[in-house]
Amino acid sequence: MMRPFTVFVTCILLVLVLTGCNPRLDKNAILGDEIGEIDQQPIEEATASLADKTVRTYSRTYGNQIEYFAPDGRAYLWYPGNNRPVPSKWRLEHHVFRYKICFLYPSSSYDAVTKERGGNWECRFLNLFADSIVEIEKSDIFNLSSGILPYKLSPQDFNFNALKARMK
Protein backbone atom coordinates (compact mmCIF):
# COMPACT_ATOMS: atom_id res chain seq x y z
CA MET A 1 0.00 0.00 0.00
CA MET A 2 1.27 3.48 -0.94
CA ARG A 3 1.78 6.13 1.69
CA PRO A 4 -0.39 9.28 1.43
CA PHE A 5 2.64 11.48 0.65
CA THR A 6 3.75 9.13 -2.15
CA VAL A 7 0.21 9.17 -3.61
CA PHE A 8 0.18 12.98 -3.43
CA VAL A 9 3.55 13.34 -5.19
CA THR A 10 2.51 10.79 -7.83
CA CYS A 11 -0.70 12.74 -8.50
CA ILE A 12 1.19 16.04 -8.83
CA LEU A 13 3.66 14.49 -11.27
CA LEU A 14 0.82 12.97 -13.28
CA VAL A 15 -0.91 16.37 -13.52
CA LEU A 16 2.33 18.02 -14.68
CA VAL A 17 2.89 15.36 -17.33
CA LEU A 18 -0.71 15.53 -18.59
CA THR A 19 -0.70 19.35 -18.75
CA GLY A 20 2.71 19.57 -20.40
CA CYS A 21 4.16 21.12 -17.23
CA ASN A 22 2.00 24.20 -17.85
CA PRO A 23 1.11 25.66 -14.45
CA ARG A 24 -1.85 27.63 -15.87
CA LEU A 25 -5.20 26.45 -14.62
CA ASP A 26 -7.29 28.43 -17.09
CA LYS A 27 -7.27 27.23 -20.68
CA ASN A 28 -7.64 30.66 -22.29
CA ALA A 29 -5.33 33.61 -22.40
CA ILE A 30 -8.39 35.81 -22.69
CA LEU A 31 -7.67 38.85 -24.81
CA GLY A 32 -3.95 38.15 -24.60
CA ASP A 33 -3.83 38.41 -20.80
CA GLU A 34 -3.84 35.69 -18.21
CA ILE A 35 -7.01 35.59 -16.13
CA GLY A 36 -4.86 36.07 -13.06
CA GLU A 37 -3.46 39.30 -14.52
CA ILE A 38 -6.94 40.60 -15.30
CA ASP A 39 -8.07 39.71 -11.79
CA GLN A 40 -5.31 42.00 -10.41
CA GLN A 41 -6.26 44.99 -12.59
CA PRO A 42 -8.47 47.88 -11.45
CA ILE A 43 -12.06 47.29 -12.53
CA GLU A 44 -11.91 49.95 -15.26
CA GLU A 45 -8.86 48.30 -16.84
CA ALA A 46 -10.30 44.79 -16.49
CA THR A 47 -13.57 45.93 -18.08
CA ALA A 48 -11.64 47.54 -20.95
CA SER A 49 -10.03 44.12 -21.63
CA LEU A 50 -13.46 42.80 -22.65
CA ALA A 51 -15.00 45.93 -24.16
CA ASP A 52 -15.52 46.10 -27.93
CA LYS A 53 -14.86 42.38 -28.39
CA THR A 54 -16.89 39.64 -30.02
CA VAL A 55 -16.51 36.23 -28.40
CA ARG A 56 -17.58 32.82 -29.58
CA THR A 57 -18.37 30.29 -26.90
CA TYR A 58 -19.17 26.67 -27.46
CA SER A 59 -20.59 24.01 -25.19
CA ARG A 60 -22.43 20.76 -25.78
CA THR A 61 -25.38 22.16 -23.85
CA TYR A 62 -25.87 25.42 -25.75
CA GLY A 63 -23.84 24.88 -28.90
CA ASN A 64 -22.31 27.86 -30.68
CA GLN A 65 -23.04 31.29 -29.21
CA ILE A 66 -21.68 34.63 -30.33
CA GLU A 67 -21.74 37.70 -28.09
CA TYR A 68 -20.55 41.24 -28.63
CA PHE A 69 -19.49 43.26 -25.55
CA ALA A 70 -20.02 46.96 -26.29
CA PRO A 71 -17.87 49.51 -24.42
CA ASP A 72 -21.03 51.10 -22.92
CA GLY A 73 -21.90 47.94 -20.95
CA ARG A 74 -24.40 46.56 -23.44
CA ALA A 75 -24.06 43.12 -24.96
CA TYR A 76 -25.75 41.40 -27.88
CA LEU A 77 -26.11 37.62 -27.92
CA TRP A 78 -26.49 35.67 -31.17
CA TYR A 79 -28.14 32.50 -29.93
CA PRO A 80 -28.84 29.43 -32.12
CA GLY A 81 -32.27 29.59 -33.75
CA ASN A 82 -33.05 33.19 -32.73
CA ASN A 83 -34.33 35.71 -35.28
CA ARG A 84 -32.65 38.70 -33.61
CA PRO A 85 -29.85 39.30 -31.11
CA VAL A 86 -30.77 39.14 -27.43
CA PRO A 87 -29.83 42.55 -25.99
CA SER A 88 -28.41 42.56 -22.49
CA LYS A 89 -26.12 44.43 -20.14
CA TRP A 90 -22.74 43.19 -18.92
CA ARG A 91 -20.38 44.19 -16.13
CA LEU A 92 -17.55 42.85 -14.04
CA GLU A 93 -17.78 42.53 -10.25
CA HIS A 94 -14.80 42.00 -7.98
CA HIS A 95 -15.15 39.07 -5.56
CA VAL A 96 -12.28 38.15 -3.23
CA PHE A 97 -9.31 38.66 -5.58
CA ARG A 98 -11.22 37.52 -8.69
CA TYR A 99 -13.69 39.00 -11.11
CA LYS A 100 -17.09 37.71 -11.99
CA ILE A 101 -18.70 38.55 -15.31
CA CYS A 102 -22.38 39.37 -14.94
CA PHE A 103 -25.19 39.59 -17.47
CA LEU A 104 -28.65 41.08 -17.25
CA TYR A 105 -30.90 39.63 -19.96
CA PRO A 106 -34.41 41.01 -20.55
CA SER A 107 -37.22 39.64 -18.38
CA SER A 108 -38.88 38.56 -21.63
CA SER A 109 -35.95 36.22 -22.42
CA TYR A 110 -36.09 32.52 -21.60
CA ASP A 111 -33.30 29.96 -21.24
CA ALA A 112 -34.70 26.68 -22.54
CA VAL A 113 -31.90 24.71 -20.84
CA THR A 114 -32.24 26.10 -17.31
CA LYS A 115 -35.94 26.94 -17.80
CA GLU A 116 -35.34 30.38 -16.26
CA ARG A 117 -36.46 33.81 -17.40
CA GLY A 118 -34.15 36.81 -17.59
CA GLY A 119 -34.58 39.95 -15.56
CA ASN A 120 -31.98 39.26 -12.84
CA TRP A 121 -28.23 39.71 -12.93
CA GLU A 122 -26.50 36.36 -13.50
CA CYS A 123 -22.80 36.15 -12.56
CA ARG A 124 -20.05 33.58 -12.91
CA PHE A 125 -16.33 33.73 -12.30
CA LEU A 126 -14.48 35.15 -15.29
CA ASN A 127 -12.11 32.19 -15.47
CA LEU A 128 -15.07 29.79 -15.81
CA PHE A 129 -16.59 31.95 -18.54
CA ALA A 130 -13.18 32.04 -20.28
CA ASP A 131 -13.08 28.24 -20.31
CA SER A 132 -15.99 28.25 -22.77
CA ILE A 133 -14.49 30.91 -25.08
CA VAL A 134 -13.11 29.43 -28.26
CA GLU A 135 -12.55 32.62 -30.28
CA ILE A 136 -12.24 36.36 -29.68
CA GLU A 137 -12.04 39.22 -32.17
CA LYS A 138 -11.92 42.98 -31.75
CA SER A 139 -15.07 44.98 -32.62
CA ASP A 140 -18.63 44.02 -33.50
CA ILE A 141 -17.65 41.74 -36.39
CA PHE A 142 -21.21 40.55 -37.07
CA ASN A 143 -22.86 43.97 -36.44
CA LEU A 144 -24.98 42.46 -33.66
CA SER A 145 -25.50 45.87 -32.04
CA SER A 146 -27.64 46.82 -35.06
CA GLY A 147 -30.36 44.49 -33.77
CA ILE A 148 -30.22 42.44 -36.99
CA LEU A 149 -28.66 39.00 -37.32
CA PRO A 150 -26.83 37.97 -40.48
CA TYR A 151 -28.82 34.67 -40.46
CA LYS A 152 -30.06 32.03 -38.02
CA LEU A 153 -27.13 30.57 -36.13
CA SER A 154 -26.70 26.82 -36.03
CA PRO A 155 -25.64 25.25 -32.73
CA GLN A 156 -22.85 23.45 -34.64
CA ASP A 157 -19.25 24.34 -33.81
CA PHE A 158 -18.49 26.69 -36.74
CA ASN A 159 -15.60 29.14 -36.31
CA PHE A 160 -15.67 32.86 -37.09
CA ASN A 161 -14.26 32.36 -40.60
CA ALA A 162 -16.95 29.82 -41.49
CA LEU A 163 -19.66 32.09 -40.05
CA LYS A 164 -18.31 35.11 -41.97
CA ALA A 165 -18.11 33.11 -45.22
CA ARG A 166 -21.79 32.35 -44.93
CA MET A 167 -22.56 36.09 -44.90
CA LYS A 168 -21.23 36.58 -48.46
Cα gap 82→155, rounded to integer Å: 11
Q: Which amino acid is at 70?
A: A
Q: Is the pLDDT assigned to residue 69 strictly greater than 50?
A: yes
Q: What is the pLDDT of residue 36?
A: 80
Supply φ then ψ for residue 62, to 5 degrees: -100, -20
Q: DSSP letter at 83? A: S
For the beta sheet containing 74-78, the strands, ordered from the edge strand earlier in sequence to the opposite edge, are: 121-125, 98-104, 86-95, 74-78, 63-69, 53-59, 133-138
Q: Is the pLDDT assigned to residue 144 strictly greater than 80?
A: yes
Mean pLDDT across the chain, nearest whole number?
83
SS3 state at 67: strand
Q: Is the pLDDT assigned to residue 22 strictly greater than 70?
A: no
Q: What is the pLDDT of residue 115?
A: 87
Q: In the chain, what are the domain boundaries?
A: 28-165
- The answer to whether 125 and 99 have CB atoms below 8 angstroms apart is yes
What does pTM read for this prediction?
0.79
